[in-house]
Amino acid sequence: MKMEELRNMTKDELLHQRKLLFEEWFNLRMQAAIKPLDNPKRIRQIRKDIARINTILREDELGIRRIIGEPGEGK
């Protein structure tokens, strides 16, 4: 996922996407323990996407950059 796509999401969408990625990451780790994965690079991609989402959420928390569509924004 690209940063531009993530920056256009609301806070709820980011939190939901992060939850889905954590679940997929967990499932892939379990599969990898049993047998070789078809696409082992997917684990790395998921970890990077989670880090990107965490970065955006932290920027909002620190006031560096506001998340679009947040309640009280005056849309």
Residue with tokens 């892939």: 28
The confidence score (pLDDT) of residue 59 equals: 95
**Virtual torsion, Cα 49, 29, 37, 22, nearest 10 deg:** -30
The confidence score (pLDDT) of residue 73 equals: 54
As a whole number of Å, the end-to-end CA separation of the chain is 26
What are the E-state strand segments in the chain?
Answer: none
Chunked in runs of 10, what are the mean pLDDT values of the chain (75 residues)? 91 97 97 94 97 96 86 49
CATH 3.40.640.10 holds for 3-62 = no
Residue ranges per structural domain of the chain: 3-62
The confidence score (pLDDT) of residue 70 equals: 61
The confidence score (pLDDT) of residue 1 equals: 80
Q: Check if the beta carbon of residue 9 is closer than 8 Å to that of residue 70.
A: no
The confidence score (pLDDT) of residue 71 equals: 59
Per-residue tokens: 22: 């954590």
